[in-house]
Amino acid sequence: MLDRLFSNCMLRPADLKPRYPGMKIIGTFNPGAIQLSDGSVALLVRVCEAPIEKRKGFHCSPRMDPQQGLVIDWLPEEEHDSSDPRVLRHRARGEHRLRFISYLRVFFSRDGKTIDNHNGPVIEPTSEYETYGLEDPRITRLGDTFHITVVTVSKHGVATSLMSTTDFRDFRGHGIIFAPDNKDVVIFPEKVAGRYIALHRPVPAMRFVPPEMWIARSDDLLHWGEHRQLLGSGSGWQNNRVGGGTPPIATEAGFLALYHAAHKAHDQPGVGIYCGGALLLAGDDPSRVAACTEGPIMRPQTNFETQGFAPNVVFPTAMIERDDELWVYYGAADENVGVTAFKRADVLAALDR
């Protein structure tokens, strides 16, 4: 674990009003973040809402119908396993539904630590591949364009789509770039040998292995190939799964990224403990792991990380260089947006494996 220079809860559900009638905000978390040319920070935050109404004997599951708008489905309690606070699993059919629906909202921060105002544009689910929500955006700047990977969830599975913007007001959708189930896609900040690079994280249904991180290359950001396994889960703090966290930044030593890892016994209910580790990928061939941290560099420690919708979760989703510091934006307890900072030299020195 590394010393943090500060930790600040930037946004929590109580800061916003629900968007949909009859709903409450249960999470504002897993933010994409990027520094703009004036030094301020643009954030794209996952906002998660759930129905207020309770019906005896039923669980509720919202979805966005492309024609009707928001619909709440009431699912019989006895037919569903609800041991995970996020999902309802049909006992006989095995199908999953989410207990909430997520969309994205833009925020700006002049100092990088506090949100300026809460009225930024919203990106809502629209297509049939987004009916259960838009989640966990990651932002990469290439030239004048911000490229955003977004997890799109529906009855067809958990896919990753691409969006782009130049101003955080108008957004263009480019469709699905990684088919289900695949999430935690982060795009590199520059091409290597003339090609775009991304990390992605397939979720194998035939569980030969817990979910691992992969790397892929592309000529146009839309069609991805040359897939290679990059980093598998290990023991201890990363036994349950690993996945891409922050889009990498280019350093003199190679590409530096934070990733997340979960610790949990396979049959243990709930989410487990999510920590962040660091990874250095070779600058000339990012499919080679040059170094990574032996243990987590950040683990849940402050109240807004250890308590909340999913206690004990830190989920890094963006990293910004500020002088000799690295500012990390992250989801805390699947409920809040946190920002913390490390000395850049401390992170590089921790890459000892």
Task: Give the residues lining the site for ligand MAN (CB under 6 A).
Answer: 86-87, 98, 135, 151, 153, 158, 183
- Nearest distance in Å: CB 185, ligand MAN: 12
- Nearest distance in Å: CB 128, ligand MAN: 16
- Nearest distance in Å: CB 161, ligand MAN: 13
Burial of 280 (C-beta count, 10 Å sphere; 0-12/13-18/19+): buried
Amino acid code (one letter) for 195: R
Instruction: Give the angle 237-306-257 at the CA atoms, nearest 5°.
Output: 50
Nearest to ligand MAN of 72, 87 (CB atom)? 87
Length of the chain: 353
Q: What is the DSSP string of 122-171?
A: EE---STT-TTEEEEEEEEEETTEEEEEEEEEETTEEEEEEEEESSSSS-
- Nearest distance in Å: CB 109, ligand MAN: 24
Nearest to ligand MAN of 157, 189 (CB atom)? 157
**What is the DSSP-derived secondary structure letter of residue 111?**
S
- Separation between Cα atoms, residue 339 and residue 2, nearest integer Å: 15
- Separation between Cα atoms, residue 324 and residue 343, nearest integer Å: 6
- Nearest distance in Å: CB 86, ligand MAN: 4
Nearest to ligand MAN of 212, 321 (CB atom)? 212
SS3 call for 278: strand
Nearest to ligand MAN of 62, 296 (CB atom)? 62
Helix (H) / strand (E) containing 306: helix 303-306
Nearest to ligand MAN of 87, 348 (CB atom)? 87
- Nearest distance in Å: CB 166, ligand MAN: 28
| CB half-sphere exposure, 117, CA atoms < 13 A | 3
Q: Are strands 96-98 and 87-90 parallel, antiparallel or unpaired?
A: antiparallel
Nearest to ligand MAN of 272, 286 (CB atom)? 272
- Nearest distance in Å: CB 117, ligand MAN: 26
Going 42 to 143 to 242 to 93, the CA torsion angle's sign is positive
Amino acid code (one letter) for 46: R
Nearest to ligand MAN of 61, 165 (CB atom)? 61
Nearest to ligand MAN of 98, 328 (CB atom)? 98
- Nearest distance in Å: CB 280, ligand MAN: 26
- Separation between Cα atoms, residue 287 and residue 130, nearest integer Å: 31
- Nearest distance in Å: CB 150, ligand MAN: 11
Nearest to ligand MAN of 90, 195 (CB atom)? 90
- Separation between Cα atoms, residue 43 and residue 102, nearest integer Å: 16
Q: Measuring CA to CA, how many Å separate 225 from each of 181, 246, 250, 295?
A: 17, 21, 22, 31
